Protein backbone atom coordinates (compact mmCIF):
# COMPACT_ATOMS: atom_id res chain seq x y z
CA UNK A 1 0.00 0.00 0.00
CA UNK A 2 1.17 3.44 -0.93
CA UNK A 3 1.65 6.10 1.71
CA UNK A 4 0.59 9.66 0.92
CA UNK A 5 2.54 12.53 2.33
CA UNK A 6 0.08 15.34 3.28
CA UNK A 7 2.68 17.39 5.07
CA UNK A 8 3.33 19.71 2.09
CA UNK A 9 -0.38 20.18 1.44
CA UNK A 10 -1.07 20.66 5.13
CA UNK A 11 1.60 23.33 5.39
CA UNK A 12 0.21 25.11 2.30
CA UNK A 13 -3.33 24.98 3.71
CA UNK A 14 -2.14 26.29 7.06
CA UNK A 15 -0.18 29.13 5.41
CA UNK A 16 -3.19 30.05 3.24
CA UNK A 17 -5.47 30.09 6.32
CA UNK A 18 -3.08 32.36 8.23
CA UNK A 19 -2.76 34.79 5.30
CA UNK A 20 -6.54 34.84 4.79
CA UNK A 21 -7.18 35.56 8.48
CA UNK A 22 -4.54 38.32 8.48
CA UNK A 23 -6.17 39.86 5.40
CA UNK A 24 -9.56 39.87 7.09
CA UNK A 25 -8.15 41.45 10.22
CA UNK A 26 -6.45 44.20 8.23
CA UNK A 27 -9.76 45.11 6.54
CA UNK A 28 -11.21 46.27 9.83
CA UNK A 29 -12.37 49.90 9.57
CA UNK A 30 -10.54 52.43 11.61
CA UNK A 31 -12.08 55.90 11.98
CA UNK A 32 -8.73 57.61 11.42
CA UNK A 33 -8.35 55.74 8.09
CA UNK A 34 -11.69 56.86 6.65
CA UNK A 35 -11.73 59.70 4.14
CA UNK A 36 -13.93 62.45 5.50
CA UNK A 37 -16.01 64.45 3.01
CA UNK A 38 -14.89 68.05 2.63
CA UNK A 39 -17.38 70.84 3.09
CA UNK A 40 -17.23 74.35 1.65
CA UNK A 41 -15.85 75.54 4.99
CA UNK A 42 -13.10 72.91 4.86
CA UNK A 43 -12.04 74.00 1.37
CA UNK A 44 -11.94 77.67 2.42
CA UNK A 45 -9.85 76.82 5.48
CA UNK A 46 -7.38 74.62 3.58
CA UNK A 47 -6.77 76.82 0.56
CA UNK A 48 -4.54 79.87 0.98
CA UNK A 49 -6.23 81.71 -1.91
CA UNK A 50 -9.32 82.02 0.33
CA UNK A 51 -7.60 83.21 3.51
CA UNK A 52 -9.42 86.58 3.57
CA UNK A 53 -12.81 84.99 2.90
CA UNK A 54 -12.08 82.27 5.46
CA UNK A 55 -11.25 84.91 8.10
CA UNK A 56 -14.57 86.64 7.38
CA UNK A 57 -16.55 83.39 7.57
CA UNK A 58 -14.85 82.45 10.85
CA UNK A 59 -15.20 85.98 12.24
CA UNK A 60 -18.97 85.94 11.74
CA UNK A 61 -19.45 82.41 13.07
CA UNK A 62 -20.90 81.49 9.66
CA UNK A 63 -18.76 78.34 9.44
CA UNK A 64 -21.57 76.11 10.64
CA UNK A 65 -23.99 77.56 8.08
CA UNK A 66 -21.52 76.72 5.31
CA UNK A 67 -21.24 73.17 6.65
CA UNK A 68 -24.96 72.33 6.52
CA UNK A 69 -26.47 73.97 3.44
CA UNK A 70 -26.71 72.62 -0.11
CA UNK A 71 -25.76 75.62 -2.22
CA UNK A 72 -23.60 77.29 -4.85
CA UNK A 73 -21.02 79.64 -3.38
CA UNK A 74 -19.54 82.31 -5.64
CA UNK A 75 -16.34 82.55 -3.61
CA UNK A 76 -14.11 85.58 -4.16
CA UNK A 77 -10.44 84.71 -3.87
CA UNK A 78 -7.85 86.93 -2.15
CA UNK A 79 -7.13 88.79 -5.40
CA UNK A 80 -10.82 89.78 -5.56
CA UNK A 81 -10.63 91.34 -2.10
CA UNK A 82 -7.37 93.08 -2.97
CA UNK A 83 -8.92 94.49 -6.15
CA UNK A 84 -11.69 95.96 -3.98
CA UNK A 85 -9.13 97.25 -1.43
CA UNK A 86 -10.83 95.23 1.31
CA UNK A 87 -9.28 93.26 4.12
CA UNK A 88 -10.96 90.79 6.43
CA UNK A 89 -10.61 93.18 9.37
CA UNK A 90 -12.31 95.98 7.39
CA UNK A 91 -15.25 93.74 6.49
CA UNK A 92 -15.52 92.39 10.03
CA UNK A 93 -15.69 95.99 11.31
CA UNK A 94 -19.06 96.36 9.55
CA UNK A 95 -22.28 95.65 11.46
CA UNK A 96 -22.76 91.91 11.79
CA UNK A 97 -25.97 92.04 9.72
CA UNK A 98 -24.08 93.77 6.91
CA UNK A 99 -21.32 91.17 6.95
CA UNK A 100 -23.85 88.34 6.86
CA UNK A 101 -25.71 90.05 4.00
CA UNK A 102 -22.39 90.42 2.16
CA UNK A 103 -21.68 86.69 2.54
CA UNK A 104 -25.24 85.69 1.60
CA UNK A 105 -25.01 87.86 -1.53
CA UNK A 106 -22.41 85.34 -2.73
CA UNK A 107 -24.60 82.28 -2.06
CA UNK A 108 -27.23 80.76 -4.33
CA UNK A 109 -29.63 78.48 -2.45
CA UNK A 110 -29.42 75.63 -4.96
CA UNK A 111 -26.48 73.54 -6.08
CA UNK A 112 -25.57 74.49 -9.69
CA UNK A 113 -22.67 73.48 -11.90
CA UNK A 114 -21.64 76.03 -14.49
CA UNK A 115 -23.35 74.00 -17.21
CA UNK A 116 -26.64 74.29 -15.28
CA UNK A 117 -26.38 78.05 -14.80
CA UNK A 118 -28.18 80.14 -17.39
CA UNK A 119 -28.07 83.75 -18.54
CA UNK A 120 -30.66 85.20 -16.21
CA UNK A 121 -31.21 86.86 -12.85
CA UNK A 122 -30.82 84.78 -9.69
CA UNK A 123 -32.10 85.51 -6.20
CA UNK A 124 -29.32 85.10 -3.65
CA UNK A 125 -29.64 84.10 0.02
CA UNK A 126 -29.83 87.74 1.11
CA UNK A 127 -32.90 88.13 -1.19
CA UNK A 128 -31.01 90.40 -3.58
CA UNK A 129 -30.67 89.70 -7.29
CA UNK A 130 -27.54 89.04 -9.33
CA UNK A 131 -27.40 89.04 -13.10
CA UNK A 132 -25.52 86.13 -14.58
CA UNK A 133 -24.42 86.13 -18.21
CA UNK A 134 -22.88 83.16 -20.02
CA UNK A 135 -20.63 83.88 -22.96
CA UNK A 136 -20.40 81.76 -26.08
CA UNK A 137 -16.98 80.59 -24.87
CA UNK A 138 -18.59 79.33 -21.61
CA UNK A 139 -17.31 82.25 -19.53
CA UNK A 140 -19.64 83.31 -16.75
CA UNK A 141 -19.87 86.96 -15.74
CA UNK A 142 -21.86 88.15 -12.73
CA UNK A 143 -23.19 91.70 -12.47
CA UNK A 144 -20.97 92.69 -15.40
CA UNK A 145 -17.79 92.73 -13.29
CA UNK A 146 -17.05 89.35 -11.65
CA UNK A 147 -15.93 86.37 -13.72
CA UNK A 148 -15.93 82.72 -12.65
CA UNK A 149 -12.26 81.75 -12.92
CA UNK A 150 -12.38 78.25 -11.36
CA UNK A 151 -15.49 76.23 -12.08
CA UNK A 152 -17.32 73.50 -10.21
CA UNK A 153 -15.27 72.82 -7.09
CA UNK A 154 -17.42 70.04 -5.66
CA UNK A 155 -17.76 69.70 -1.93
CA UNK A 156 -19.89 67.46 0.23
CA UNK A 157 -22.46 70.19 0.80
CA UNK A 158 -22.26 72.45 -2.23
CA UNK A 159 -20.35 73.75 -5.20
CA UNK A 160 -17.80 76.53 -5.17
CA UNK A 161 -17.47 78.79 -8.20
CA UNK A 162 -14.33 80.89 -7.66
CA UNK A 163 -14.74 84.49 -8.80
CA UNK A 164 -12.18 87.23 -9.46
CA UNK A 165 -14.19 90.13 -7.96
CA UNK A 166 -16.42 90.48 -4.93
CA UNK A 167 -20.07 90.77 -5.86
CA UNK A 168 -21.52 94.23 -5.62
CA UNK A 169 -25.01 95.31 -6.49
CA UNK A 170 -25.52 95.75 -10.21
β-strand 158-163 against 146-154: which pairing, if any? antiparallel
User: How many residues would you count in the chain?
Assistant: 170
41, 76, 54, 81: which is closest to 163 by C-alpha? 76
pLDDT tens string 99-112 = 999 999 999 999 99
Tell me what pLDDT residue 61 has.
Answer: 83
pLDDT tens string 112-152 = 999 999 999 999 999 999 999 998 888 999 999 999 999 99
pTM for the model: 0.77
- Does residue 27 register a pLDDT over 70? no
- Specify burial of residue 128 (Cβ count, 10 A radius: 0-12, 13-18, 19+): middle
For domain 40-163, give its CATH number from 2.60.120.10, 1.10.150.170, 3.50.50.100, 2.30.180.10: 2.30.180.10
Ranges of each domain in the chain: 40-163
159's CB contacts (< 8 A; 6+ apart) are 71, 72, 73, 111, 112, 113, 152, 153
Amino acid sequence: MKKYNFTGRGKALFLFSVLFAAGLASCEENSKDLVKPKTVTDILAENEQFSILNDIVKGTDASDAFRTENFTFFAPNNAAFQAANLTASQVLAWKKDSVMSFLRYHVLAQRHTTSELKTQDYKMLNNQIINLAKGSDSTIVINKNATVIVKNVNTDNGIIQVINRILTKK
